[in-house]
Amino acid sequence: MSKLLVGYACVSTEEKDLTAQRDALAALGVEPDRVYVNFDFTGKNKNLTGLREALAAYRARDTFVVTKLDRLARSVRGAHTIAEDLARRKSNSTSVVRSMPRRPLGKLLFNLLAMIAVSEADLISMPTREGMEVGKAKGRLRESSQNSA
C-alpha cells in the first residue's frame, strides 16, 4: 500500500476563501481530491464533517497535512486528542510547522504550539466580542435568546 497525503482545510464561514489553504496543501504535495474541507469551523460547532472525513480517509503510514495548527483544532485538548489518535494509528502526521511529535520534547513543543494557536484565535476574536457587548449595551444588538414579536 502506498503512502498518501491527506489534507484538511477549514474556514469559519462559507464566505471565507480556502484558496490560500488549498494552494499551501498543493505545494506540500496533497492532491486536490485528498483535501477535506470544513466550513463554520468555530469553537461552538461540533459538526466537523470534513475533519471526520479526513481522519476516516487517513490510513496508517499516511501523512495528515494541515496548513496551520489552528486549522486542526480549536483547543489544546482537541489538538492533543487528534494527535494521539493519529499516533495510535502509526501516523506520519505533519503540519506546515513541524512533524507531529512522538518523543517527549516533541510532544511538549506540539502542546506549546497548540496553546499559542488557541490564544491567537482568542485574541483575534476579542475585539468582535467587545464590540458586540458595546452594541448590546447601546441597544443596537438584541440578545439571541430574545424572541422577535
DSSP string, 51-94: HHHHHHH--TT-EEEESSGGGT-SSHHHHHHHHHHHHHTT---B
Give the mean pLDDT of 116-136: 72
Average pLDDT over residues 102-122: 66
Give Cβ neighbours of residue 89 (< 8 Å, ≥ 6 apart): 58, 59, 60
CA–CA separation, 37 and 74 (whole Å): 15
Which H/E stretch holds residue 33? Answer: none
CA distances from 9 to 25, 39, 51 (A): 8, 9, 8
Q: Rounded mean pLDDT of the chain? A: 75
Strand pairing partners for 6? 64
Would you say domain 5-137 falls under CATH 3.40.50.1390? yes
Task: Report residue 136 as a C-alpha cell.
Answer: 448590546
pLDDT for res 35: 95
Average pLDDT over residues 71-89: 79
**142: which DSSP letter?**
-
Q: Which residues have a catalytic role annotated?
A: 12
pTM over 0.95: no
Which distant-in-sequence residues (6+ apart) come within 8 Å of 87 by Cβ? 93, 100, 102
pLDDT-above-90 percentage for the chain: 15
pLDDT above 70 coverage of the chain, percent: 66
Predicted confidence band of residue 145 (pLDDT cuts 50, 70, 90): very low
pLDDT at site 32: 94
pLDDT in tens, 11-55: 877 778 889 999 999 998 899 999 999 887 666 656 788 989 999
Q: What Å distances lie between residue 117 and 56, 68, 91, CA to CA?
A: 24, 9, 22
Residue ranges of domains in the chain: 5-137
